[in-house]
Amino acid sequence: MIRARVMISGDPVSMSLGADEIKLAIEAELAFYGLEDEVQVGFVGQLGRLDVLPAVVVYPEGTLYGPLRLEDVPHLVEEHLYKGRIAESLLAPPNVLSGVIARLPAREGLLRGQERVVLRRAGIIEPTDIEEYIAYDGYFALGKALSEMSPAEVLQTIKDSKLQGRGGAGFPTGLKWSFVAGQQADKKYIVCNADESEPGTFKDRLILEGDPHAVLEGMALAGYAVGADEGWIYVRGEYALAKERLLTAIQQAEAMGLLGDNIMDSGFSFHIHLHSGAGAYVCGEETALLESLEGKRGIPRVRPPYPTVVGFRGQPTVINNVETLANVAPIILRSAAWFKSLGTERSPGTKVYTMLGDVNITGLIEVPMGITLREVIAAYGGGMRDDVPFKCAQTGGSAGSIIAPELLDVPMDYATMREHGASLGSGALLICNVNKCIVDIAYVVMRFFETESCGKCTPCRIGTLRMSELLNRLRHGQASLEDVSMLEEMAQAVAKTSFCGLGQGAPVSILTALRSFREEFEAHAQGSCPTGVCPMKTEPPEVIVRRGYL
Amino acid sequence: MKSLAELQKIKERALQRKRLGGQNARARIIVGMGTCGIAAGARDTMTAILKELEQRHIEDVIVTQTGCIGLCEYEPIVQVQVGSEELVTYGKIDTARVPELITKHIQGGEPVAEWIVK
């Protein structure tokens, strides 16, 4: 009989830090004490605490140990698993919320474990074992839909739930599905956008690594609702482990008859394929993604027609983000009303964020929509690091807004953030303290867009380069006050005239930063960097032409 | 996969294997595994408990360990808590006493009075 489970963080960071060897060492120690039959050892996905990797959780106590070195293993096994005492010296530093025993921040605190939706299983189940997914109600939503619900009912449930796309734009998922469901076509497709490339955003990777079947089940349900029998997952090229886990999951689901032909004798068939990206940021834009998926160069298409009408291979296509799809099965299994009981009225449900920057605890959290940034920092981030005051946060990666302290108490949901001229974005929270320079941040962000612009349209191709040059001049104290106004004008022009979301999102950080921190930009133009970060009064930067086609 | 019923069967099987979440446990058995406990044979007691539970297909009990609770002369010490009832502490539970303990307290719900440490 198994009495304890040792779960080792199996994310790529932990792997590179030797999680493999730690697993082998734990197994060897268990064998030494003759405990191998009563203690199970396995990998899980990301555990939610990035500061303590490689980490190990021992159940049933739920004790979190880390960062663990190979030489710590004998002590851990002897103390906790042989003698049954908590190995105090190896405990992860306690989260402020949970007292003596360190626990996963996403599991404790404001949103209790059982109220999590997307990350309910991540960190608890073995992601490479389909039966563990089934043990936690996996594929029951699909079973329920196929045996008890019509496609129209599934669609209506998702509409009623008011689920919004979790990729950043917050478009109502049910509405998007109904556009495709209403099309007459021989072939329709479900595409999962897992090309998560926003700097600082890695929630989708952790969902795919920790609970891959949840996404597969969501895709199958979407297929049933809109009448598609084929799904494609476009995974960011760098996500090696996520791809491996997805492939395993697809194979297992097909072997069990939960994907493939005639699922559960219902007559409904659904096949899922995996496609790897090759590292272009623009391919996260849905039409560029479709181009890439069709084997062409990843550049955006003209919209309209939207992909819901003319999508993958010219057919009506639903394109949903990983997190969106992971929300689908819980809604079908429980109810739209239950989903609406979470979050805010206009944006129900939960949101997964990756939190990074100047806070004490960085990591992955799932919180109800409508929580304020102040709460997130205090409760999950463990406060600001070294108690240095908060200056700003960037939500949603490089294309996200700069959130000034005035917005710390604004409920974070799609609609409310929009009303305050900010966007919630894809789910990264980059927290900066007052020692960071806003011009420096804006420059780093713009460098990213300058490099990633696909070159199709002029405002984005040239605009990002010129803005990046201007910001660099500002950093060096080589720009005037007029240049600051020009920067603003340029940012507005690029935002308004760019062809796709990449160019439209590129100036967002500058525009939102100028709104709250204009004085700091102007101080640079007048020759001083208030935080002392920028290399002021040094040689003017060289103008480097990076592309042949300029 | 043909039906929901079949899926349910897999779920139950998988849950049996996993059932360590703690939330669904009906009872807890805690074995004292300090140095004193181990010296007195707590390791064998633990093995015997796990074996008995497995043989009787008792799935809703979690078995954990604890350190020395300061009653070394009564080791091996086993504590049993059924539901939200009070924690009962037994002393000198060697392997021979395990089957009876499980029959009476875990399955029958009645503590074995004469073994309780007072």
Tell me which of 3.40.50.11540, 3.40.1390.10, 3.30.1490.20, 1.25.40.10 is the CATH number of domain A130-340. Answer: 3.40.50.11540
Q: What is the pLDDT of residue A98?
A: 29
Chain A hits for B2, CB-CB cut-off 8 Å, are 257, 264-265
Contacts for A128 with CB less than 8 Å, ≥ 6 apart: A43, A245, A248, A249
Whole-angstrom distance, CA of residue A178 vs CA of residue A149: 16
Contact yes or no for B63 and A3 at CB 8 A:
yes
pLDDT at A218 (0 to 100): 97
Q: Does domain A4-104 have CATH number 3.40.30.10?
A: yes
Give the start-to-end residue ranges of the domains of chain A.
4-104, 130-340, 350-433, 438-525
Domains observed in chain B: 25-115 (3.40.30.10)
| A78 touching B (Cβ < 8 Å) | no
Residues A106, A110, A116: CA angle, nearest 5 degrees: 50
Dig out the tokens for A59 from the structure: 């159940």
Q: Which two tokens stand for residue A229?
A: 């029998």
Burial of A83 (0-12, 13-18, 19+ CB in 10 A): buried
Query: At residue A421, what are phi and psi to the nearest 5 degrees?
Result: 70, 20
CB contact under 8 A, A135 and B15: yes
Find chain B residues with C-beta within 8 A of A85's C-beta: 33-34, 65-67
Q: What are phi and psi of A273, to 5 degrees?
A: -120, 155
- At residue A391, what is the residue type? K
Backbone dihedral region of A265: left (phi > 0), alpha (psi from -120 to 50 degrees) or beta? left
In the predicted model, residues of chain B with pLDDT beneath 70 are: 17-24
Q: How confident is the model at residue A214 (pLDDT cuts 50, 70, 90)?
A: very high
The answer on pLDDT for A283 being more than 60 is: yes
Tokens of A27: 């197994």
The 10s digit of each residue's pLDDT in A125-184 is 778 889 989 998 999 999 999 999 999 999 999 999 999 999 888 899 999 999 999 999
A264·B4 Cβ contact <8 A: yes
Q: What is the mean pLDDT of chain A?
A: 88
Distance CA B118, CA A166 (A): 58
| Residue linked to tokens 């899980």 | A44
The closest alpha carbon to B1, from A258, A214, A249, A266, belongs to: A258
In this prediction, residues A353-376 reach a mean pLDDT of: 84
Helix (H) or strand (E) holding A189, with range, is: strand A189-194
Question: Are A84 and B10 in contact (CB < 8 Å)?
Answer: no
Query: Is the pTM above the cut of 0.90?
Result: no
Contact A51, A363 (CB under 8 A): yes
| Rounded Cα distance, A22 and A37, in Å | 19
Q: From B57, which residue of chain A is nearest by alpha-carbon distance? A: A1
A350-433 has which fold?
Ubiquitin-like (UB roll) (3.10.20)
Provide the token pair at A4: 């304890």
Residues of B in contact with A82 (CB under 8 A): 33, 38
User: What's the pLDDT tens digit per position in A476-489?
Assistant: 988 999 999 999 99
Give the best residue of B11, B51, B102 to mutate against chain A (max A CB count within 10 A). Answer: B11
Whether domain A438-525 has CATH 1.10.1060.10: no
